[in-house]
Amino acid sequence: MVTTALELAGYEIVENVGIVRGIVVRSRSIVGSFFGGLQTIIGGNITVYTTMCEKARKDAYKIMCAQAEGNKANAIVAMKYDATEVMRGVTEVLCYGTAVVVKKR
């Protein structure tokens, strides 16, 4: 279970396992940059970049969840995403939260 809230309704946090994170660094390909550039001329949603960003978020999320599971947590609270441009065309996507052990109330 993963939530952006500080608690899970109906559950009690019995142990704070610690911070977990998933980090993915992506760069735009030449082809992606070309098609993205074309889409900026037309306007609207730049689907090439939307798809790339969504994949990076999903990958970072999976890494974070695997780290929590590896640390014997069964939930993550206060989950957030962050992104930073490392250099031109290269972006880091970070997914992080607090791994916890919860039990039903």
Determine the distance from the C-alpha atom of residue 8 to the mean position of all C-alpha atoms in its chain, rounded to a whole number.
19
Closest CA relative to residue 28, chosen from 36, 39, 38: 36
CA dihedral 59→63→69→74, nearest 10 degrees, is: -50
- pLDDT, one tens digit per residue, over 13-61 is 999 999 999 999 988 654 445 544 555 566 666 677 788 889 999 999 9
Backbone angles phi, psi at 31, to 5 degrees: -65, -45
* Domain boundaries, given as residue ranges, for the chain: 11-27+59-104
pTM, full prediction: 0.83
Domain 11-27+59-104: CATH architecture, name and number where available = 2-Layer Sandwich (3.30)
Rg (CA), the chain: 17
